[in-house]
Amino acid sequence: MITKCNLGKSKRKIAIILPKECGENPGYGFLNRTLYGTRDAASSWELEVRETLESFGMTAGSSCPCLYSDRSRDIALLVHGDDIIFCGAPEHFSALSARLKDEWNLSVKGTIGPLGDSRSLRVLGRLLSFQGDAYEVEADPRHAELLCRLVTKKVSSPGEKVDLVLEDETPLDENGISDYRSLVMRAAYLGLDRPDICFSVVRCARAMCNPTQQDMIRLMRIARYLKEKPRIVQRFKFQALPTVLTVECDSDFAGCQRTRKSTSGFVAMLGAHNISAVSKTQSVIALSSGEAEFYSVGGAVMRALGLRSNLSDLGVDVRIILYTDSTAAKGTAFRKGLGKAKHIDTVYSWLQDIFKDKEVELHKVDGEKNRSDLLTKYLAGPKIAQLLKSMGYSARDGRHELALTAAD
């Protein structure tokens, strides 16, 4: 991993008042490089990164300009602001480091892997470890720790369905609203690495505008679950490079009792490794479970095509196989036209062409084995553990050696 602290070359003539360190009457100076806050700072830095990496033989991604690869040398990297994450052989890493040191003020945080100089690294807020036969990734534990401080009891699941008539609709006060929004966003950030809480977080996020006491109860339920399972680790064992991106999707018809909107779940597996898990409230109100499942298929196809493009940018070519547990959605996808479902927006008819042209394969999966079920509804603890295990996640005790403690 490489970190640098530079800014791109200024493309405009910008004058600034020089700081007092330059003398009694420092006057003004023109920028050779952009400053944070100027309008062209981000675009100038992106251009400089692109020019520097392309001079090293890297090719910028077509779908994502933050991804670069060189298939001939089997190397790839991700640019995230002023951080670069590199994947490839040590000799290529050394060559790239030397090249970048000529261009920027550069610091190398370390290398990890069979020939790396570190066993663990902090990478973009996450904790990455190499265990000899696998890599392991987990979320920054401080988010879970701060949420756990709010509760004393533990529960085995992050949420439970409550009848609408039993919900406490008392609005939160001004301070309560501010705290609620802050805590939900902390849980949402944690949910990027924790599929087990994704749906519960989405349910809380629906109330960000006008949260009630019941919404705070839902949030505290997540906190109690995190107290029971504060640490979930994802394990990436060595495997042959897959040629198939396996996608599973599901929906919970009219799961929101208030709006009657359904929820879509999406899980993408590259071999035995989960690379994306998403829970999303459908924007369209479905009139049947089959329609809700069809919308989830549509969302899954769009996300899968995007992931395939990202993988291609990294030098990995895959085909897509999509699984759904809905016979109705599968039937609608394979027919021509909408049939009796006239109310379905015709924009979704492009899905039928996708499957007809075999750009994406669609198959049926047993509902009990559908991993995306975890992203659509509240499940019991044992079922959550089962689905997490099938996605490569497991609960752990203790703390990571690089874990930081949340401030009081």
Residues 6 or more apart in contact with residue 1 via CB below 8 angstroms: 83, 84, 85, 86, 108, 109, 110, 111, 112, 121, 123
Give the pLDDT of residue 343: 58
Give the pLDDT of residue 10: 83
Give the pLDDT of residue 101: 86
Task: Provide the mean pLDDT of the chain.
Answer: 91
Helix-strand-coil percent breakdown of the chain, rounded to 5?
35, 25, 40
For tokens 């680790």, what's the residue? 233
At position 286, the amino acid (one-letter code) is: A
Confidence of residue 339 (pLDDT cuts 50, 70, 90): low
DSSP 38: S
User: In order of start, what are the domains of the chain with their CATH numbers?
Assistant: 2-109 (no CATH), 141-230 (no CATH), 242-391 (3.30.420.10)
Residue range 183-230, pLDDT digits in tens: 999 999 999 999 999 999 999 999 999 999 999 999 999 999 999 999
Give the pLDDT of residue 319: 97
Give the pLDDT of residue 324: 96
Residue 182 to residue 208: CA distance in whole angstroms: 10
Integer angstrom CA distances of residue 105 from 44, 97, 114, 274, 378: 17, 11, 28, 35, 49
* H or E element at residue 321: strand 319-324
Q: For residue 4, is pLDDT > 70?
A: no
Q: For residue 39, is pLDDT > 90?
A: no
Give the pLDDT of residue 406: 81
Residue 235 to residue 389: CA distance in whole angstroms: 10
Cα–Cα–Cα angle for 267, 272, 276, nearest 5°?
25
Confidence of residue 106 (pLDDT cuts 50, 70, 90): confident
Better-scored residue on pLDDT, 187 or 81: 187
308 CB burial (10 A radius; 0-12, 13-18, 19+): buried
Give the pLDDT of residue 312: 96
Residue range 351-392, pLDDT digits in tens: 888 998 999 999 999 999 999 999 999 999 999 999 999 999
Confidence of residue 177 (pLDDT cuts 50, 70, 90): very high
Confidence of residue 347 (pLDDT cuts 50, 70, 90): low
**Region 313-333 average pLDDT:** 94
**Region 263-273 average pLDDT:** 97
Tokens, residue 361: 């394969």
* H or E element at residue 221: helix 213-228
Task: Judge whether 134 and 122 are in contact, CB under 8 Å.
Answer: no
Cα–Cα–Cα angle for 164, 186, 279, nearest 5°?
55
**Region 159-172 average pLDDT:** 87
